Amino acid sequence: MSFPAISVPEVDTSSDATPGLTSDQQRAVDALPEGCALLVVQRGPNAGARFLLDDDRTTAGRQPSSDIFLDDVTVSRKHAEFVRDGQRFRVRDVGSLNGTYVNRDRVDDVLLTNGDEVQIGKYRLTFHSFRSR
């Protein structure tokens, strides 16, 4: 009996690597300009997708005009926003039905740190910000 070949993403194991990121994702994090951040979809539809946070305010929701369009019924039309706060970012729930979670805690407004897991509906995204080199 033979099994079909599967593709396993290469995970970066260097000492500066962020756990759980593929080599491509790690290169994207390493290339972030100062004052920017990256969200990487770890679970849910579009797993592996990346969203650059490079504006003072980035909206996320099921509404097609959202900066981060998350097309699933578990996501409110206007669900959350990511706001630049100096050199850091905050996530704010903007009245969603199912809530916004950071590291499995429901939040209204919280400052994000590297590696935080943000859950919006069934999407789980990890937050990665610029790190000085």
Query: What ranges do the domains of the chain cover?
Result: 23-129
Mean pLDDT to the nearest integer, 25-46: 89
CA distance 51 to 72: 17
Q: Tell me the mean pLDDT in the region 36-60.
A: 94
Question: What pLDDT, on a 0 to 100 scale, did the predictor assign at position 124?
Answer: 98
Q: How far apart are CA 90 and CA 103, in angstroms?
A: 14
Mean pLDDT on 51-62: 97
Task: Give me the residue label for tokens 């909206």.
Answer: 59
Average pLDDT over residues 105-133: 93
pTM attached to this predicted model: 0.82
In sequence order, the 6+-apart residues with CB closer than 8 A to the CB of 16 are 30
| DSSP H or E run through 120 | strand 117-120
Fold of 23-129: Tumour Suppressor Smad4 (2.60.200)
Residue type, 100: T
Decide if pLDDT at 1 tops 90.
no
Mean pLDDT of the chain: 88
Chain mean position to CA 39: 3
